[in-house]
Chains A and B, each alone.
Chain A
Amino acid sequence: MIRIEKLHKSYPIGKDSLHVLKGIDLHIKEGEFVSIMGSSGSGKSTLLNIVGLLDVHDEGNYYLNGQLIKDLNEKKAAILRNKFLGFVFQSFNLISYKTALENVALPLYYKGMNRKERLKVALEYLDQVGLKDWANHLPNELSGGQKQRVAIARALVTKPKVVLADEPTGALDSTTTDSVMDLLKDINDQGMTVFVITHEEEVAEQTKRIVRLKDGVITSDELTKAAKAV
């Protein structure tokens, strides 16, 4: 599903440049549940953004669903994102003046689905994350955990191949963290590839494979107990 070879990424800082990713090799197959761990500033988000086509790499190769990602223009990137990828962010990133239902339906709008059908599909997904009764509430009327579940429903609504989550539990307490992780597990059980960034050991443990990143290189890459148990 995702194949990364000798990937490098630097950010220019004034005249210098900051070398963030220093040759990453990573292969994630369809249906995997992978977490990336590492201290703050180790380049986790950078990696995820490149995988998510929100950013471009400098060197190396990146294949998404077998397709070499190279010289993408914004339009193509947008279409690929809409087709293959679902995003979940630490700070939820819901649009504040849209209801939960409208937020979930938004990716379908960009897919070109008509409003009626869109809202119907969105409601099914809200139901799946247990928030059907909250469909017409604005984000500021929801708790953090609820917001993140809305965000997850939004990431899923286009039936992406990969769900990318950058510290999805970073802003949540432990009980809501568990409910969000359970949700991600369910999704993975349904066969979707899930790629999570976290720096919480307990969260990582609930995934099936942990990749550890330090100073822009992968230091370890092993299956978790959860994976071995299956």
Chain B
Amino acid sequence: MKFLFDSDTWQEIYGSIRKNKIRTVITIIGVLWGIFLLVVLLGAARGMDNGFKKIFGDFATNSVFVWTQRTDIPFKGFQKGRRFRLNMNDIDALKSEYSDKIKFLASRNQTNNLLVHDFKSGSFQVSGDYPVLDKIQKKNLIYGRFINENDINSLAKVTVISEDIYKQLFDKDEMPIGQYIKINNINYKVVGVYGPSKGIDLDGDTVYIPFSTFRKVYNTANKVDWMVITANPKIDIVQMESDIKLTLKSLHKVHPEDKRAFGSFNLGTQIDKFTGFLTGMQFLTWFVGIATLIAGVFAIGNILLITVKERTKEIGIRRALGATPKSIRQQIILESVFLTTVAGMLGIVFGGFVLYIIDTTIGQGEDAALVNPTVNIPIIFIAFVTLIVLGTLIGLIPAHMATIVKPIEALREE
């Protein structure tokens, strides 16, 4: 190892690298390209991943939506095609049965109504909701607040409206908070205005009122239109979806095999599909990058081999002057490692630079395709170590070739 820190060793390597400029450049380009590809592709894959996460944004992704449809199988004396509704008892039953798995459960009732403020009006979706909805999909509040427990308990006639509704019903620069709007001819006090949410939007332009208020005003009694359930982290959402439906089927006397009675939509499954795609992408990236890298290192080995042949004479001279086979081997391996390492570093620097360019040009803004395309330091480190190892291994071949030629053969005058 001492030879590594010997300035003479490096002097020799510098001399031979400078001597073989074309070789040096070609080899460096080979490996540089490999590691460059690896860095850029991995960064791009990461950017896609980030962009994808941004699409879901503030939405709790391990969520499932459940609603009722018509039965498909006659059961317990009921005809096929029976209509039925979810109700508050279902909610309580689910909450207690899955208390360890459910993180949030929001039951919802919705309808469409005319909204009036002064002389302006418009028809919008009206939704009776619990405060927990704000946890499932974070509302991007511009003014005021979302519905709270107090509103629920006091059956308050308050509402939270979207920015677009606000613009349609209010004059410019008019402060909405504390003002009243008529929904279906009943006055509600505006307590909050929300802007577009980041990522998936559950409802579009909707006026939210307390679930309890909705229930009383629209006389929905125990009925529930549909519900959103968010599972605790690490809970298999797909499994939970079918478990919940089974529980609901038994509560509503629906045949366990009935596929139509309950409708549901599971964001987790969609995400899994896309995550799978991304994982595939990353795998492909690694594959392509490493293959290129190996090709580059082989090119180095090959060119070193050629130069060893070109340099047979020089090696013969050195050996006549007292170079041991070991010292020759060391020099050639060190040349190989040095070239791969320098090329690797350049590749990383250029790759990083390109990622930086991508980030500053198309990686910014609301609908960027790639968001924060970056590569982990450990990955770079591993790639770098791999390069050094490969450089050493591939240098072994020409190093060996250099020493099996007898000095006499190397020196023979033709």
Contacts and interface: CB of A to CB of B under 8 A. Distances in A.
Contact of B318 (A49, A106, A114): A106
B411 A79 contact: no
Contact of B324 (A49, A52, A74): A74
Contact of B320 (A54, A74, A90, A96): A54
B403 A78 contact: no
B217 interface: no
B324 A87 contact: no
B313 A74 contact: no
A55 B410 CA distance: 12
A54 B406 contact: yes
Interface in B204-220: none
Nearest to B403: A74
Interface class of chain B by DSSP:
helix
A78 to B, nearest CB: 4
Contacts of A176: none
Contacts of A82: 321-322
Interface in B366-414: 403, 406-408, 411, 413
Contact of A87 (B12, B16, B320): B320
A115 B318 contact: no
Contact of A79 (B11, B324, B407): B324
A135 B394 CA distance: 37
Contacts of B327: 110
B293 to A, nearest CB: 30
B324 A95 contact: no
A89 interface: yes
B6 to A, nearest CB: 9
A93 interface: yes
Interface in A101-130: 102, 106-107, 109-111, 114-115
Interface string B293-330: 00000000000000000000110111111111111000
A52 B407 CA distance: 11
Contacts of B365: none
Contact of A75 (B313, B317, B318, B325): B325
Of the candidates A74, A94, A98, the one having the most CB atoms from chain B within 10 angstroms of its own CB is A74
Nearest to A113: B8
Interface string B218-235: 000000000000000000
Interface in B8-49: 8, 11-12, 15-16, 18-19
Nearest to B11: A115
B322 A110 contact: yes
Nearest to A81: B322
A83 B19 CA distance: 29
B320 A81 contact: yes
A54 B321 contact: no
B96 interface: no
Contacts of A78: 319, 322-325
A227 B316 CA distance: 35
Nearest to A118: B8
B7 interface: yes
A91 interface: yes
A154 interface: yes
Given A54-B411, A74-B324, A78-B325, A93 B15 contact: no
Contact of B7 (A74, A83, A115): A115
Given A54-B406, A74-B403, A95 B322 contact: no
Nearest to A160: B322
Given A49-B408, A54-B408, A89-B411, A98 B15 contact: yes
A106 B321 contact: yes
A89 B325 CA distance: 21
Nearest to A50: B408
Interface of B: 7-8, 11-12, 15-16, 18-19, 313-314, 316-327, 403, 406-408, 411, 413
Interface of A: 49, 52, 54-55, 74-75, 78-79, 81-83, 87, 89-91, 93-98, 102, 106-107, 109-111, 114-115, 154, 158
Given A93-B411, A97-B15, 12 more contacts: A54-B406, A54-B407, A79-B324, A81-B319, A87-B320, A89-B413, A93-B313, A93-B317, A93-B320, A95-B318, A97-B19, A115-B8
List of 9 A-B pairs having minimum Cβ-Cβ separation, nearest first: A82-B322, A97-B19, A110-B322, A54-B408, A78-B324, A107-B321, A55-B408, A74-B325, A93-B317
